[in-house]
């Protein structure tokens, strides 16, 4: 199973409105509901959310916009790279 995780993708998303640990917790909880996600980190100072996904899982711009909007935040952009 570790090989599958190693072949996955890391997404780094810029999000506005992340101001407190409770905000970070809410975002982490929403992202954990998506099958195949792991290693979710939120950098409040930089407004960045990082999440690793296993091979075969894709996080789309539309899905992330909706997820963050529903949580009360403003999604700005997303970059991805191979793990």
Q: Which domains does the chain have, with CATH numbers?
A: 2-82 (3.30.70.100)
Measured CA to CA in angstroms, residue 78 lies from 37, 57, 67 at distances of 16, 15, 13
Measured CA to CA in angstroms, residue 11 lies from 21, 24, 26, 58, 73 at distances of 20, 16, 18, 9, 17
Dist CA 59 CA 69 (whole Å): 15
pTM of the model: 0.88
Question: Is the pLDDT score of 4 beyond 90?
Answer: no
Of residues 13 and 3, more confidently modeled: 13
Show Cβ contacts of residue 77 under 8 Å, excluding neighbours closer than 6 positions: 13, 14
- pLDDT tens readout for residues 13-32: 999 999 999 989 999 999 99
**Which two three-digit tokens encode residue 1?**
């199973």
Dist CA 68 CA 15 (whole Å): 8
- Quick one: average pLDDT of 40-52? 96
């Amino acid at each position: 199973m570790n090989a599958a995780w190693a072949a996955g993708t890391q997404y780094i998303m810029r999000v506005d409105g992340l101001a407190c640990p409770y905000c970070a917790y809410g975002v982490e909880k929403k992202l954990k509901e998506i099958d195949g996600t792991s290693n979710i980190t939120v950098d409040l100072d930089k407004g960045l959310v990082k999440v690793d996904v296993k091979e075969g899982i894709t996080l789309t711009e539309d899905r992330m916009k909706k997820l963050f909007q529903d949580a009360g935040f403003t999604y700005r952009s997303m970059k991805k790279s191979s793990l």
